[in-house]
Structure 1
Amino acid sequence: MPDAWLPADQQFFADLLSGLVLNPQQLGRVWFAHTLAEPPAGSLCLEQPRLDVVLRGVYGNRLIAAQKAIRQGEMLFLPAQAATMPIFEPPVMLLSVVFAPSWLGLAFQAPGHGLPAKKVDIPHPERGECTAMLMALTHLSASAQDQDIIQPLVLSLLRWCRKVASSPPQPGISRKDFLYRSICHWVQENYAQPLSRESVAALFTLSPNHLSRLFSQQGTLSFVDYVRWVRMGKARTILQKYHLPVAEVARRCGYPDSDYFSRLFRRQFGLTPGEYRARFL
């Protein structure tokens, strides 16, 4: 019976994770994405580790030939900063889990199945258990053939995720604050995508006006200003670490127009992207 005290979307993921950990025989091989010095255009690279679980159909990572057909029950683990170029053909149902230091991001996608996507970020107090498992998996990514060790470790990680998803929201965090944090975390992970007030509001089942009110009440920046603040921060990090053309930096930060990106960057930091990067050469 569903736990009445859990928000509906959180209950959905708690049930989904329960189905996985209670039927471990349905889980298969764990694949590993690679960390690349310069991820190619169109790839997805997150700062936090991520686990993709194929619930139905066939999923793929275009960057690695052996991973172009990851089948039902198999999983793809991405260490922090690893890159992937997802393939969603043929139709697939996918559970994605992002492991951040103080929150757990859960996303359900079903391209081609006509089912609505779901997304929730759950704050949690990290006690070290999850960090230890993620470190072990990252280390084992260099010896991915040790599936007898890797698969039980991933199962333990999924059990931990189930425990977090099945826990009621922390006391003292209002629903508005929880929702605001969830949206902020989502923007931090998806800043490179085309983002609009309408598209993000729809993802979190809000009206655009409700989203605007949420940011004005819970934060210090409007939604549009927050997106720009996140993107500019990411751009600054990329310019410090990588010698990429400004147009590519702009694209990776969600700006197809590099001139517009440069104007925004100079307005915020007082330097052009090129002038800023020159400080670190």
Structure 2
Amino acid sequence: MNLDVALRILEQKQGAVFSVHVLHPAFLECEALRLAPDQYLHHGEFCRTTKMHGGDTACVRNKDRSLELAKRGRFFCGTCPFGVWDAALPVLFESKTAAVIYAGSFHLPGHAPPSKEKIAGLRRDMEFLRELILLELELWRKTAESTKQRPADYYIRNINFFIDRHFPGDPSLEEAAETLRVTPNYLGELIRRETGRSFRELLLERRIKEARVYLKLHRHLSVTRIASLCGFHDSNYFSTCFRRIAGCSPREYRAVTDGTASDATR
């Protein structure tokens, strides 16, 4: 069973949100470990609404704290600053954290946790997911050992995948290189040679592509809010970058679009 399917089944079973924070290159390459875009992050309705209304900075800080706790390698659970309860289970492979499984996204009255029985059931299902992931990681390791020399298109394909998953945050070439287990210099030179652009340029283009969608389909959001959702900390810098790539300002782009979805894939 592929991991994405297992997550969907368990979500229906538990009435909870399941997601996986990935830290191992196998998740970029192994088809059985590939997830849908929403499965890499908290996608509960309350969390989506909170992020759309300015809570993404606090969410990122809380996620960073949980990743630090995950380094201990043990199951843990708790409530975020917005009152959402989640459980987390690290997946250790070759003595390193390969992924962190999250389950829950419960927003209960008084910030109360779920029942002990519910937590126990979630933990059992998360341990099942951990074993599924570990099995696929072991299979990937054996395959990787026999194909150590990777072609250039392998790295370009996975760089694009890495950027797709991380562009709302602040991903770096160093993080991508660590995930793909190569040096930053090697990866940077390969990207430049194969695409004619740098890692930062690819990241910027992906952010502007997403901004186009927000500007057209989410007209209630301000330009400043869209800039933040797409990974820009400064709305003026966002406007400058948008004009350079799209040929007009964000407000001008929004004014000339007609609200159809045709531009969503531009």
With normalisation by structure 1, the TM-score equals 0.50
- Within the alignment, does 1:65 sit opposite 2:83 as a pair? yes
Report how far residue 178 of structure 1 moved.
Answer: 4.1
- CA 1:174–1:231 in structure 2 vs 1: closer, same or farther (change >3 Å)? farther
Residue of 243, 253, 259 corresponding to 1:266: 243
- Between the aligned partners of 1:172 and 1:220, the Cα distance in structure 2 is 27
Matched residue pairs, number? 194
| Structure 1 runs not aligned, ≥5 long | 1-8, 12-30, 46-50, 77-93, 97-105, 109-114, 121-136
User: C-alpha distance in 1, partners of 2:186/2:179?
Assistant: 13
| Equivalent position to 2:48, from 32, 36, 39 | 36
Report the Cα offset of residue 228 of structure 1. 1.1
Hey, what's the Cα distance between the residues in 1 that align with 2:58 and 2:84?
17
Aligned partner (choices 231, 253, 266) of residue 276 of structure 1: 253
* CA distance, structure 2, for counterparts of residue 200 and residue 43 of structure 1: 24
Per-residue displacement from partner, 1:41-88 (whole Å, max 9, x unpaired)? 41558xxxxx98943486655244363xx6xxx437xxxxxxxxxxxx
The question of 1:232 aligning with 2:204 is answered: no
Of 194, 202, 207 in structure 1, the residue corresponding to residue 170 of structure 2 is 194
Residues 173 and 237 (structure 1 numbering): CA distance in 2 closer, same or farther, change over 3 Å? Answer: farther
**Aligned in 2, Cα 1:250/1:187: closer, same or farther, shift over 3 Å?**
same
The correspondence for 2:150, drawn from 145, 152, 175, is 175
Instruction: Report the more deviating stretch, 209-218 or 164-173.
Output: 164-173
CA apart distance, 1:10 = 6.6
In 2, Cα distance between equivalents of 1:180 and 1:60: 38
Structure 1: how far apart are the matches of 2:176 and 2:166?
10
Aligned mates of 1:255, 1:65 — CA distance in 2: 26
Q: 1:164 to 1:181 in 2, by over 3 A?
A: farther
Structure in which a larger fraction of residues adopt helix: 2
TM-score by length of 2: 0.52
Which structure 2 residues correspond to residues 4-43 of structure 1 after superposition, within 5 A?
A: 34-39=46-51, 40-43=55-58
More strand, by proportion: 1
| Residue 162 (structure 1) aligns with | 134
Q: How big is the shift at 1:267?
A: 2.5
Report if aligned partners of 1:215, 1:222 keep a CA contact under 8 Å in 2: yes
Do the aligned residues in 2 keep the contact of 1:10 with 1:166 (CA within 8 Å)?
Answer: no
Percent identity between the two aligned chains: 21
RMSD after superposition: 4.7
Q: 2:185 aligns with which of 205, 209, 220?
A: 209
